[in-house]
């Protein structure tokens, strides 16, 4: 699969007495969608925050795009975040801003072109997620599924090389779950991005994933394809796959 675009090696992290990782190691390869599954509270979202420098590990190495994330200063982290878009679990939209202003927020932060360029970019990404024409609406006027899609439009606005999805289908009805899953696959193919997905829905996992990583016992205990996950005899993984929908 070539050289990994992201590598975690022996990462340890604890919050006081709450041990999250004792030796987290895994790779993410260019152009793939890797989905991370695991029980509640095992640190799936922490992993995403470590990757973009919102949290620091207690020890270990995190390499992204050939650079050591744990040694980056504020300016270097800013440049890293220009390459990484993130869809937060709740959408994380600002209620006081319009949809256009929400999507422009990272563009302004990263000094992405002129005002006219930004306006065109907003139109483009809203069209990509099937939400054209809602620029002047505000988040309280949107449904849960619409908020997720606006959040996704904001995540891809900066033209990232990697997209992180933190529980992208949580709280959505089946129709919107299928829509978001379809968008994840379409964006990977259309934009040629690399994706890391954390999900609580095994149906979504099997729909969007090229590979699956099982976070269990403070580390990634298994990685493989969807077919291999379904056929696995590893007790914890088999139990999770069979009964995992809605459990994460």
pLDDT value at position 3?
86
- Tokens found for residue 134: 């809602």
Domain ranges of the chain: 92-159
Number of H helices, E strands in the chain: 9, 10
pLDDT value at position 242?
80
Strands 59-64 and 67-68: antiparallel
Exposed, middle or buried: residue 83 (CB in 10 Å: 0-12, 13-18, 19+)?
Answer: middle
Handedness of CA 64, 69, 23, 41 (dihedral sign): negative
3-state SS string for 146-198: HHHHHHHHHHHHCCCCEEEEECCCCCCCHHHHHHHHHHHHHHHHHHCCEEEEE
Please report, in tens digits, the pLDDT of each residue of the chain (248 residues total).
Answer: 678 999 999 999 999 999 999 999 999 999 999 999 988 788 899 999 999 999 999 999 999 999 999 999 999 999 999 999 999 877 689 999 999 999 999 999 888 889 999 999 999 999 999 999 999 999 999 998 899 999 999 999 999 999 999 999 888 889 989 999 999 999 888 889 999 999 878 889 999 999 999 999 999 999 999 999 999 989 999 988 886 543 33
pLDDT value at position 241?
86
pTM for the whole structure: 0.91
DSSP bridge partners of 11: 24
pLDDT value at position 67?
97
């Amino acid at each position: 699969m070539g050289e990994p675009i992201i590598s975690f090696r022996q990462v340890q992290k604890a919050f006081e007495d709450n041990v999250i990782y004792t030796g987290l190691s895994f790779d993410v390869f260019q152009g793939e969608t890797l989905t991370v599954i695991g029980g509640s509270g095992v640190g799936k979202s922490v992993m995403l925050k470590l990757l973009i420098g919102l949290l620091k590990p207690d020890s270990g190495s995190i390499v992204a795009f050939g650079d050591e994330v744990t040694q980056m200063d504020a300016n270097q982290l800013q440049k890293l975040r220009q390459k990484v878009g993130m869809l937060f679990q709740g959408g994380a939209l600002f209620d006081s801003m319009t949809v256009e202003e929400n999507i422009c927020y990272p563009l302004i932060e990263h000094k992405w072109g002129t005002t006219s360029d930004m306006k065109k970019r907003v139109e483009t990404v809203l069209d990509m997620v099937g939400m054209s024409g809602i620029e002047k609406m505000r988040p309280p006027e949107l449904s849960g599924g619409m908020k997720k899609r606006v959040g996704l439009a904001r995540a891809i606005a900066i033209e990232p090389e990697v997209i992180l999805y933190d529980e992208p289908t949580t709280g959505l009805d089946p129709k919107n779950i299928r829509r978001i899953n379809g968008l994840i696959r379409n964006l990977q193919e259309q934009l040629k991005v690399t994706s890391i997905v954390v999900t609580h829905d095994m149906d979504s996992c099997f729909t969007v994933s090229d590979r699956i990583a099982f976070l269990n016992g403070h580390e990634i205990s298994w990685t493989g394809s969807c077919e291999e996950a379904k056929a696995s005899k590893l007790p914890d993984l088999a139990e999770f796959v069979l009964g995992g929908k809605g459990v994460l």
